[in-house]
Amino acid sequence: MLGKKSLWQVGTDHAGIATQMVVERKLAAEGQPDRHALGREEFTRKIWEWKEHSGGTITRQMRRLGNSVDWETERFTMDDGFYKAVQEVFIRLYQDGLIYRGKRLVNWDPKLHTAISDLEVENKDVKGKMWHLKYPLADGLTYTDEDGVEHSHITVATTRPETMLGDTGVAVNPEDPRYKHLIGKEVILPFVERRIPIVGDEHADMEKGTGCVKITPAHDFNDYEVGKRCKLPMINILTFNADIREEAQTFTTDGSVNNDLSGFIPEKYRGMERFAARKAIVADFEEAGLLVDIVENDMVVPYGDRGGVVIEPMLTDQWYVDAKTLAKPAIEAVENGDIQFVPKNYENMYFSWMRDIQDWCISRQLWWGHRIPAWYDEEGNVYVGHDEAEIRAANHLADDVELIQDEDVLDTWFSSALWTFGTLGWPNLDDPEVARRMADFHPTDVLVTGFDIIFFWVARMIMMTMHFCKDDDGTPQVPFKTVYVTGLIRDEVGQKMSKSKGNVLDPLDMIDGISLDDLLQKRTGNMMQPQLAEKIGKRTQKEFPDGITPHGTDALRFTLAAMASTGRDINWDMKRLEGYRNFCNKLWNASRYVMLSVAGEEAVEKAAAEGTQIAITDEMKAACGVSPSGQGEPVVLSLADRWIISRLQHAETEVRRHLDQYRFDMAAQALYEFIWNEYCDWYLELSKPVLWDKNASEEEKRGTLGTLVRVLEATLRLAHPIIPFITESIWQQVKDLAGKTGDTIMLAEYPAPRDELIDAQAEADIAWLQGVITAVRNIRAEKNIGPSKELDIILKDGDDEDFRRADENQTFLMKLAKLGKITWFNEGDTLPMATTQLVGQMEVLVPLADLINKDEEIARLNKEVEKLDKEITRISKKLGNEGFVAKAPAAVIEKEKDKLAGYERDQGKIKEQIEAIKAL
């Protein structure tokens, strides 16, 4: 519509963990063999199958919503082309020294058997216990505390007693007077009988627990750091299931295998499940008289957000990306404004995460994902390359050297991070098509996303893109210039929508409607927690007793736009949706009126009955001022015509401005107001006196009919981005009448305001007209006079403008206010018993001798006087304030003075009126 070359790149990622999990669960539910029985190849084939038939939910919704995306270039992060990009990126980063492999502590999900990222860990508040355990000092050492009590033990506090099997030290604060003399001494780890040192480390907090912390570097992130600082070895006591191992694995501080240290685990704990082991160990401490205390403890426990079980820090070999190096330019790009967040406050969120970024663990122990392009020989040497042959050649490896590819896959976000350039065909830049697309569409302009994705996607896309995509002069390219952050759609009470809560609303159901039964089935069928079904069912039944009625796509889109104020979550309100459905209906009916006016009832009804388009004839075009030759027919524009054209220019200005500023809510609001409150409420009504006037000239009728059509046509184009379907449908009918050509409104020009069409005089005149009409309607309502009864009115105290306007707009006034006669009050006339309204300085009088109670009328007017009194007092006070007069801008003072004068004049008029009535 703006004539710009554009691409909306759509696609989906492969959601590694979630997808693998869903399919595993499905296999289990169907009684099929699990993935280990199937084997890697067969299992991934199953996932592909599943993806084929149920992977399109989101894109189906997008299609129905009419999103104007380029479907031909739809991509999936597991498609072949994408793998090329992923592989290339991995290899280059490895060569650049930005990817490395190492033994580190990771968040391990014991259920899903994979490392997961910090961001996939959900920390839950839990009421737990802390156990105080005594570790005996080695070599019979004792010490005396400040109270003179002698101790042969040191007491540590822990919330995870089972990890003591892997303790390699006890830390005390080097400043702690109670314990610092023990630094360098040793304790005997109960049951394991291992001698472990007491070390001094800042990590030990004198205030917390007992002041002594057991250190288990292989099973705790803090301890891991302490272990590194104090050169403690690491002992892994858990299997990947998080059960106690038969024999522990021992490592030195740097992660290499430590053969000097025993991996002994007391027989009774071997193979125990971690929480069972916890119980057993606590019991044994108690029995041994080493359990000092159990303290209730509020704490936070990490759960895997997918698997739902407690995460275990685990020492494993993983691949890492040096995120700190990549983050540097990515931070700068946002700092210097190359990338802007809308709304801006999300930049802080981005900075706070990026400035404290940890190296990114990219390997996952899954089967669904991009296999890591790394191979190992028998000695454990690592080779990274595109394939085995390339690696052999590059490293001069003989054919009989066995190479085994890394079993792990890459984090889904690793591939998602390549989205902006990977989807354009990178790295095949030698392909002219790819080069052209990169030149046309990279950097891209806008990324639309939810705030919860800023860390996952946005940050990583920025890092990767800036590393790999450069201008000819080597300047890094940003992936996009603007990040538009949408709010989340929540349910009507502000809860996040989720399947387990059963409060999810499918946009398709709001578009097409759904019966209560189907909705219940959808929400409660096939649930992970069937015990919730009843509750969800009840709630659904209460909220949607009749299901959901159809509202249509445009209504849904308009609602989403109208609710999209900056960065704010939206509590979904069906009533708003209904309101905007009515709006669409209003637009439809308005266009019906236009077509009836042009084509006549017969043609319109016939087309409606047959479901066809109205046949537009040359006569119809001519009636709208479009002659077959393409030359405009002569027209005369009425005041109303000039007014609505002028108002349209304002609407166009507003809508465009709001769209440019991503204020879709305000753009929607501006459209709503223009279409309903101006075009429908006033202009259509004002067109009737002209069109239905037998005495009106051809030129006048053409002027009005043409304006009806042209303003509608432009409005459709203006509204098209928000409500594409209805606008297209109507546009196909009116385009010819408006002298427009083209197959689709999608390719029609977006309306731009033209200054020369703004008509201040017409706007002022119509405002006056509206004032008079509203005044009369007001009197009607107040006096309970039906709208069909004709009224005679008297105008009093008008100036030249009032005379002119009343004279020029008699027809409009008579018709819209349903008047019989308009007369001017002349000096010396006797004032009849009447009720009044003010329009500026002019009085509108409706003589209603029989309907007016003198006292009531006076009371009503007195109320007006009081109301004005308040305002007058307020403004007088303001103007009497020396500070205000001295310091406020002249324009503001002038405005206040005008207001005051206006109120005083009105009040004077009303007081006069009261006197006049009293005198009757």
Partner RNA sequence: AGGACUAUAGCUCAGUUGGUUAGAGCGCUACCUUGACAUGGUAGAGGUCCCCAGUUCGAAUCUGGGUAGUCCUACCA
Q: Looking only at residues 62 through 81 of this chain, which bind RNA when binding is defined by CB under 7 A?
A: none
Q: Considering only residues 142, 352, 741, 826, which one is a binding residue for RNA as defined by CB under 7 A?
A: 352
Q: Is 866 in the site for RNA (CB under 7 A)?
A: no
To RNA, the closest distance from the beta carbon of 498 in angstroms equals: 11
Q: Of the candidates 836, 838, 834, 858, which has an alpha carbon nearest to the alpha carbon of residue 847? A: 834
* Contact pattern for RNA over residues 412 through 451, marking x by CB under 7 A: ----------------------------------------
Q: Looking only at residues 666 through 725 of this chain, which bind RNA when binding is defined by CB under 7 A?
A: 666, 669, 672, 676, 680-681, 684-685, 688, 692
Q: Is 821 in the site for RNA (CB under 7 A)?
A: no
* Tokens coding 612: 């066809």
**For RNA, the closer CB: 122 or 618:** 122
Cis peptide before 217 (omega within 30 of 0): no
Which range binds RNA by CB under 7 A, 26-34, 713-721, 744-752, 877-885? 877-885
Q: Is 786 in the site for RNA (CB under 7 A)?
A: yes
To RNA, the closest distance from the beta carbon of 591 in angstroms equals: 8
Secondary structure (H, E, C), 153-203: EEEEEECCHHHHHHCCEEEECCCCCCCHHHCCCEEEECCCCEEEEEEECCC
Q: Which residue has the tokens 């809860």?
A: 495
To RNA, the closest distance from the beta carbon of 582 in angstroms equals: 3
Q: Considering only residues 9, 73, 253, 297, which one is a binding residue for RNA as defined by CB under 7 A?
A: 297
Q: Looking only at residues 457 through 516 of this chain, which bind RNA when binding is defined by CB under 7 A?
A: 492, 494, 496
As a whole number of Å, the end-to-end CA separation of the chain is 65
Which range binds RNA by CB under 7 A, 305-313, 378-386, 429-437, 609-617? 305-313
Compute, in degrees rounded to 10, the torsion defined by CA atoms 112, 115, 117, 118. 90
* 686 and 770 Cβ atoms separated by less than 8 Å: no
**For RNA, the closer CB: 90 or 350:** 350
**For RNA, the closer CB: 62 or 773:** 773
To RNA, the closest distance from the beta carbon of 451 in angstroms equals: 7
Which residues make Cβ contacts (< 8 Å) with residue 159, sequence separation at least 6? 128, 129, 130, 131, 297, 299
Q: Considering only residues 288, 781, 859, 920, which one is a binding residue for RNA as defined by CB under 7 A?
A: 781
To RNA, the closest distance from the beta carbon of 695 in angstroms equals: 14
Q: C-alpha 270: how far from its chain's center?
A: 49
Q: Is 160 in the site for RNA (CB under 7 A)?
A: yes
**For RNA, the closer CB: 336 or 788:** 788
Q: Considering only residues 596, 603, 746, 858, which one is a binding residue for RNA as defined by CB under 7 A?
A: 596
Q: Is 158 in the site for RNA (CB under 7 A)?
A: yes
* 533 and 541 Cβ atoms separated by less than 8 Å: no
Q: Considering only residues 57, 152, 241, 345, which one is a binding residue for RNA as defined by CB under 7 A?
A: 345
Q: Is 278 in the site for RNA (CB under 7 A)?
A: no
Q: Is 252 in the site for RNA (CB under 7 A)?
A: no
Which range binds RNA by CB under 7 A, 187-195, 324-332, 539-547, 786-794? 786-794
Q: Of the candidates 374, 251, 372, which has an alpha carbon nearest to the alpha carbon of residue 315? A: 251
**For RNA, the closer CB: 469 or 561:** 561
**How many residues bind RNA, per CB under 7 A?**
97
Q: Considering only residues 104, 328, 386, 899, which one is a binding residue for RNA as defined by CB under 7 A?
A: 899
Q: Looking only at residues 110 through 149 of this chain, which bind RNA when binding is defined by CB under 7 A?
A: 118-119, 123, 130-131
* 101 and 382 Cβ atoms separated by less than 8 Å: yes
Q: Is 788 in the site for RNA (CB under 7 A)?
A: yes
Q: Is 351 in the site for RNA (CB under 7 A)?
A: no
442: β partners = none
Burial of residue 860, with CB atoms counted within 10 A of its CB: 0-12 exposed, 13-18 middle, 19 or more buried: middle
**For RNA, the closer CB: 76 or 353:** 353
Q: Looking only at residues 568 through 587 of this chain, which bind RNA when binding is defined by CB under 7 A?
A: 568-571, 573, 575-576, 578-582, 585-586
Q: Considering only residues 312, 347, 678, 864, which one is a binding residue for RNA as defined by CB under 7 A?
A: 312
**For RNA, the closer CB: 441 or 580:** 580
Helix (H) or strand (E) holding 807: helix 800-808
* Tokens coding 51: 């993806």
**For RNA, the closer CB: 64 or 203:** 203
To RNA, the closest distance from the beta carbon of 775 in angstroms equals: 9
What's the CA gap between 184 and 200, in Å, rounded? 8
**For RNA, the closer CB: 117 or 420:** 117
To RNA, the closest distance from the beta carbon of 311 in angstroms equals: 5
**For RNA, the closer CB: 309 or 429:** 309
To RNA, the closest distance from the beta carbon of 710 in angstroms equals: 17
What's the CA gap between 728 and 195, in Å, rounded? 81
Q: Considering only residues 9, 73, 262, 566, which one is a binding residue for RNA as defined by CB under 7 A?
A: 566
DSSP string, 319-388: EEE-HHHHHHHHHHHHHTTSSEEESTTHHHHHHHHHTTPPPEE-EES-SSSPBP-EEE-TT--EEESSSH
What's the CA gap between 424 and 406, in Å, rounded? 28
What's the CA gap between 285 and 374, in Å, rounded? 46
To RNA, the closest distance from the beta carbon of 130 in angstroms equals: 4
* 215 and 158 Cβ atoms separated by less than 8 Å: no
To RNA, the closest distance from the beta carbon of 895 in angstroms equals: 7
* 225 and 208 Cβ atoms separated by less than 8 Å: no
Q: Looking only at residues 733 through 762 of this chain, which bind RNA when binding is defined by CB under 7 A?
A: none
To RNA, the closest distance from the beta carbon of 894 in angstroms equals: 11
What's the CA gap between 331 and 289, in Å, rounded? 55
What's the CA gap between 367 and 23, in Å, rounded? 12
* N residues, the chain: 920
Q: C-alpha 814: how far from its chain's center?
A: 51
